[in-house]
């Protein structure tokens, strides 16, 4: 009698996310009009890391944000660079539900830092945010040289959309690390 092996059904191993993956995905979300970069100069609702249209929240509360984002009628989320990276993470890993009332996350950035832990360092997130917001004092960055370089990088790219696009392209050129050019001190 022949012995047969049962075919084993192994789950495919999920590739770990990298900062490079998030940068690429966020660019795709922006091109697909699922995310709109909103800095202090174009956000009428005040400063938010990430905000979503209240109508979407009412209609899809409790559903996976990842699935809702795929709907043709989805109105784009608005936010800063950190909020965009969080949305790219959600798009890849589906770890956020649509809230009941509205999504306006303007609180403690530590929640975003915690979600992206192991993918993007806290220092990198704050450097990216300093460039996006064109504000060196927005978060603690341990080096004035890097703070100044980030702000100068942001100033060189006028609108929030252009700033975020430039930041993401910089990350892609540097294997997922945002490296603003540093002017030599003379």
Are 145 and 182 in contact, with CB atoms under 8 Å apart?
yes
Q: Are 24 and 84 spatial neighbours (Cβ–Cβ below 8 Å)?
A: no
The pair of three-digit structure tokens given for residue 135, joined into one six-digit string: 């504000």
Ordered per-residue pLDDT tens for the chain, 186 residues: 455 555 556 666 678 889 999 999 999 999 988 888 987 665 555 556 777 777 777 777 777 777 877 777 777 888 889 889 988 988 888 666 666 555 555 556 777 888 888 999 988 998 999 999 888 777 667 777 888 899 999 999 989 999 999 999 999 999 999 999 987 655
Q: What is the pTM of this model?
A: 0.81
Per-state percent for the chain, helix, strand, coil, to nearest 5: 45, 10, 50
Number of domains, the chain: 1
Residue with tokens 């699935």: 67
Does some domain include residue 154?
yes
Specify whether the CB–CB gap between 49 and 105 falls below 8 A. Answer: yes
pLDDT value of position 173: 97
Has residue 1 been placed in a domain?
Answer: no
CB 1 within 8 A of CB 103: no
- CA nearest neighbour of 70 among 103, 27, 38, 32: 32
Domain of 53, in residue numbers: 19-173
């Amino acid at each position: 009698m022949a012995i047969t092996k049962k075919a084993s059904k192994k789950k495919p191993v999920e590739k770990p996310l990298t900062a490079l993956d998030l940068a690429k995905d966020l660019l795709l979300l922006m091109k697909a009009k699922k995310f709109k970069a909103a800095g202090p100069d174009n956000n009428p609702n005040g400063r938010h890391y990430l905000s979503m249209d209240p109508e979407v929240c009412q209609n899809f509360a409790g559903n996976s944000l990842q699935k809702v984002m795929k709907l043709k009628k989805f109105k784009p989320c608005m936010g800063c660079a950190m909020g965009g990276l969080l949305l790219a993470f959600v798009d890849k890993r589906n770890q956020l539900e649509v809230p009941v009332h509205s999504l306006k996350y303007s609180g403690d950035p530590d929640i975003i830092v915690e979600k992206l832990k192991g993918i993007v360092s806290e220092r990198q997130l704050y450097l990216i945010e300093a460039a996006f917001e064109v504000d060196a004092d927005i978060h603690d960055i341990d080096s004035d040289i890097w703070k100044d370089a980030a702000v100068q990088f942001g100033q060189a790219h006028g609108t929030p959309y252009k700033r975020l696009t430039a930041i993401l392209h910089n990350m892609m050129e540097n294997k997922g690390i945002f490296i603003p050019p540093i002017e030599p001190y003379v």
